[in-house]
Every structure is written in structure tokens, then in C-alpha cells.
Amino acid sequence: MILLRADIERRERETLAPYAAKSADSRGRDFPESEDPFRTCFQRDRDRIIHSKSFRRLKGKTQVFVAHYGDHYRSRLAHSMEVAQLSRDMARALGLNEDLAETIALAHDLGHTPFGHAGQDALHECMAKHGLSFEHNEQSRRVVTLLEQKKPDYPGLNLSFEVLDGMMKHRESGEMSPLSGTFKPSLEAQLVDLSDKIAYLNHDIDDGIRARILSSESLDSLALWRQAKETVRADLSHSHFISAMISSLITLMAKDLMSNTDRLIRERKITTLDQVYKTQDSLVAFSDGVAGEVRLVKRFLYDRFYTSPGVMQYNNRGQEVIRFLFDELLKKPSLIPENFSVRGEEALIQVKDHIASMTDEYAMDLYDKLHWKAFSRSEI
């Protein structure tokens, strides 16, 4: 048996929730293309993302630690895969379009800088000095609509409207998207936003414990951690115990998110995708109680992990590298590889695009090279 695209599209109509985004109803691409015989538009978009250079570079970008600190800490690639896994599983359970959710999840961090959030903050500060800004969601969109160059026919990857709209995360309540004229993106995109949060909170706890910056005992101050503990055997070895705790914590958050989302959809009497687009608040949300607990987990990680000396020393180093590269590349934009820069863009934007694209290692190597040159110049 071979399933054709039309068969998959029919299955979507038969099996997905009425408010799910159906691939056959996509608003389409900026540059019209003929359809693939086997894959839906969202499957095709996912494949374009996986085959892009920016996606491969995610493996060399830090999530919290500088990439080569240890073999088992999450890179941004591992993070994106975990977000995709959570998004797919919950999308399936909620009758939403798994392919769309997975595609948005895999693309959501493509514009992230090297050196994690510290890197993003440093690049933003550099841009702010020139009256501009840097934000990684905006940069992710820029990567897929402009910087990736796959075909001579168009810039970027020419993704479907629903994927691009879904990549504009963190849309505030009541703010209309200039792209779509809608208040909220699809439920699939809203789901990825929360999957991102579940993924990073949990893997950062895991990585924090692995690095011995966090301890299981200190986490006992969190109600959600204590609740997860009730389902985990106390006689396990340390590593089995931590694995079981992370798994239990993810389950707890995911279950609450799904049941509360289902409740919101029913309460608001949502039956079409158009209603989703026109709803001003998020329909994918934790219950109030768990949302409050999740905020406490985030606060805990911020205070005890992200700003701990063990993480800050790497963050500071990463920020120093970015500031130095920004100044050097701005002085000499010819150092930016020719196949990288977008023709006609001012130097400042080219420098921003280039630095955002770098892996941690590429940035550090270039820093060493340019720093040595600057140093030897001043010696002469």
C-alpha cells in the first residue's frame, strides 16, 4: 500500500479535531509551488527544516552550558528534538495536526545565537547601541524566510503560512499579527510554545543536577517536585531516581496542560480554526494552580541555576566573545563569508545575522583568530 498526499489529507479531515489546522486548507506559500505527490505541505516544510544548514548548526549551540562542557548536556538541537517530541505526543492526544506541531517545534530556535540566552542578551545589547534590537523568534523567521538559500527561485525555505505564523511566538494578548490579521496562531503553534517551556524547565533541572549545581533536596522546596515524588519509588539509585523524577514531572505538566486545554476549548465552544485565530487569549494553557507552580519552578531555576557561578562564568565568557566579534566584524564586514551575507543589507544587519548563525565553537575560534591579530597589531 502506498498512501498519497490526498489520502493523508483525507485522513486528517476524518480523524483530526474540527479546530485542528488541516494541511489541505493551508493558506499556502509566498511563492506558489506544485504539491508533492506523497507529502502534505507541513510534512514537506518539516523536511526542508531538517535539511537546512541552520538546523544542523543547532547541535553546536548551547542551551545553558557552553557546548563542550560535557557530553550529556542539552544542545539546542537536543532541546528542539525534545520540544518536537512533546508537541507531537500532545498534538496527537488533543486531535491536533502532529506534522504542523512538529514542524514549528523543529524550527522554533533556528535563529538562536551561540552561548544560549547570555548570547542573545549580548547581541541585543550590541544592536541596542545602534538603536536596533535582537530577538531570537524574529531571527528564526528571518532564517526561514531569507537567510537559508536552497533554491534560485526564492529566498528562504518558502514555508507554509501556518508554519511561519506559528513561529511568531510570544504574541501578547490582544495584539494582532501583522502577518495574518489574527490574534492567536493555530492551537498547534500555541501547543509548541508550552511544550518549549515544559521541555526546557525539565531538561534544565536534569542538567543542573548532572552538573551538581542543583540537588534533589533543594528541589523539595517546589510543590510540583514534591508531587512528582509521590509517584516515584524511593529505593532507586540516584540516577534512576532523577530519570524517574524528570519523567514524572513532565507527565504531570503535560497532563495538566492537555486537560486544561480541552476544558478551555469546550468552554469557549471552539469548533473551527477561524475561531482559534480570533480568540484573544491562549487556548493552550496550564490550569491556574499548575501555572503558578510552573512560574515557581522557573524562578527557582533562574535563582539557583542560570545565575549560579558555575553557569555565569561560561555566560560571561560567551558574552565577551560576542561583543568582541560584533565590534571587529563591524569594522571589517569583509570578514563575513560572501555566501552568507544578504546582498544590499547594511553592515550592521549582516554582522547581526552572521553572529546569530554561529555555533559556540565557530564563535570562539574566530574570536581567538581575530583577538590574536588585534593583539599582534598593538604589539607592533
Binding site for Mg ion (CB under 5 A): 109, 196
Q: CB of 215: closest distance to Mg ion in angstroms?
A: 25
Q: CB of 316: closest distance to Mg ion in angstroms?
A: 22
Query: With respect to Mg ion, which residue has the nearer C-beta, 9 or 109?
Result: 109
Query: With respect to Mg ion, which residue has the nearer C-beta, 109 or 328?
Result: 109
Region for residue 53 given its phi and psi (left: phi exceeds 0; alpha: psi -120 to 50; beta: otherwise): alpha
> How far apart are the C-alpha atoms of 175 and 179, rounded to whole Å?
12
Q: CB of 178: closest distance to Mg ion in angstroms?
A: 23
Q: CB of 119: closest distance to Mg ion in angstroms?
A: 14
> How far apart are the C-alpha atoms of 40 and 31, rounded to whole Å?
17
Q: What is the DSSP letter of 211?
A: T
Query: With respect to Mg ion, which residue has the nearer C-beta, 22 or 117?
Result: 117
Query: With respect to Mg ion, which residue has the nearer C-beta, 109 or 188?
Result: 109
Beta-bridge mates of residue 154? 151
> How far apart are the C-alpha atoms of 39 and 53, rounded to whole Å?
22
For residue 366, what are the CA distances in angstroms to 333, 362, 377, 379?
A: 14, 6, 16, 20
Q: CB of 192: closest distance to Mg ion in angstroms?
A: 9
Query: With respect to Mg ion, which residue has the nearer C-beta, 45 or 196?
Result: 196
Query: With respect to Mg ion, which residue has the nearer C-beta, 109 or 165?
Result: 109
* Residue, CB closest to Mg ion: 196
Three-class SS of residue 325? helix
Q: CB of 112: closest distance to Mg ion in angstroms?
A: 8
Q: What is the DSSP letter of 173?
A: T
Burial of 194 (0-12, 13-18, 19+ CB in 10 A): buried
Q: CB of 350: closest distance to Mg ion in angstroms?
A: 25
Question: Residue 54: phi, psi to the nearest 5?
Answer: -60, -35
For residue 343, what are the CA distances in angstroms to 30, 155, 349?
A: 20, 12, 11
Q: Cell numbers 489529507 correspond to what residue? A: 9
Query: With respect to Mg ion, which residue has the nearer C-beta, 45 or 109?
Result: 109
Helix, strand, coil percentages for the chain (3-state, nearest 5)? 65, 0, 35
